[in-house]
Amino acid sequence: MALLDSEVWGRKFFSDGWRAASAEQPVVEPATGEQLATAGLATAGDVARASARAAEAQRAWAAASPQQRAAVLRRAGELLAEHASEIQDWLVREAGSVRAKAAFEVQLAVGECFECAGLPTHPQGEVLTSEDARWSLSRRRPAGVVSVIAPFNFPLVLGLRSVAPALALGNAVLLKPDPRTTVSGGVVIARVLEEAGLPAGVLHLLPGDGSVGRAVVEAPEVRVVSFTGSTPVGRAIGEQAGRLLKRAHLELGGNNALVVLPGADVRKAASAGAFGSYLHQGQICMTTGRHIVHESLLEEYTAALAAKAAALPVGDPAREDVALGPIIDRKQLERVHGIVTDSVAAGATLAAGGEIVGAGYRATVLTGLTTDMPAWREEIFGPVAPVIGFSTLEEAARIVNDCEYGLSVGILGDVGTAMKLADRIDSGKVHINEQTVSDEPNAPFGGVKASGTGSRFGGAAANVEAFTETQWVTVRPDIADYPF
């Protein structure tokens, strides 16, 4: 039987095994509108039961040996690799990924599991000095129950990026995937970990609407909330968690800048810019949303980028060899087109694209912009590349920083000049001679300003900080003498 056979998970959610759901939702292919399967939905009541069970199961899971926890994560990575083709098919059909992006996402997910398999044996504390005759140390303990709310764009890896380290460090997890990618962002993770030998009750898959999202934040057993998604929703979750005195790790939106310095290789720069703006139809928090080009290269770069855009085919990635697949749903497709047409109406010029093609959108280049136009100010989440010029390094830094977001910046050209610019930029990530989209399981990932709370995913230090609590412990050889 295939790992993702719908006979196992169809019309069900995962909580101490696969349970029949009281509500259902079609799993829809965005490219065609075809129904692929039927997913089960959880309710707020299901969340309450799951969180209580998770708290119970977490105690035994935290007490398991580091080797036992590491073995589950290693086996999960192996299963992802063994079933890569099947998982990629779901990413293509359910999430609208082109085949290369789906393969890359599975590869990242495998790496995430293998990287997190090292967390259980990673040092998790330090010995402190003390003025008294005692041993003093701090140690990291599992937070308890962690809620993970994941997005639709890289549904597998962006869910697993929180689920895997939280489990590795001894926590139980409530996972709520985006309803549009319940299978590739939820069922895949549950099935892989189930087959890898994760004990019952430690992971709960709870698809659902906003009421379920609120419930996985408010459940009293939950101590940490890990959310990846839009800034407006992140603000609401942050407020909700703050009132409840819970930690919220918020990885939010971005309107990321690619700076092309004078003297840069225009051909290579345009290729980097196209990749940054058009990978997965621009539906990535790290997408290159602003191209800031030195005035000496502006015309040449814009022409080269427009030529790249015009050559990228749009269509159904499950049935055609295309570079751009569908936008996730019609509402988002119309939003992307609305931002483009509003900007053109305000005076911008279309150098390429600007058209809806079936369920997709042509790779688009906009020029003649001012910084107050919607295509420049907003996170578009579509395949749109706005281009603007600059004359001095000071001006480039000002334009980069004149943005509510601060997630990722790419700088192309002379390394020394790029380093000087990087020192003036407010951003969680800076990539010199690379575009803005980059992620590795062992690297700290996160943004500043409206791109997040400054928390990081990836790498042992960031993951231990995110999913554990610090406990101070002292030990004396004998009971101390006190003056009472």
Catalytic residue IDs: 251, 285
- CA atoms of 337 and 15, how far apart (whole Å): 40
Report the relative pairing of strands 364-367 and 349-352 from DSSP bridges.
antiparallel
Cβ pair 151, 95 in contact under 8 A: no
431 Cα distance to chain centroid: 18
Cβ pair 50, 216 in contact under 8 A: no
Instruction: Name, in order, each residue with C-beta under 8 angstroms of 263's C-beta and a sequence gap of 6 or more.
Output: 413, 414
24 φ/ψ angles, rounded to the nearest 5 degrees = -135, 165
- CA atoms of 193 and 78, how far apart (whole Å): 11
- CA atoms of 288 and 301, how far apart (whole Å): 15
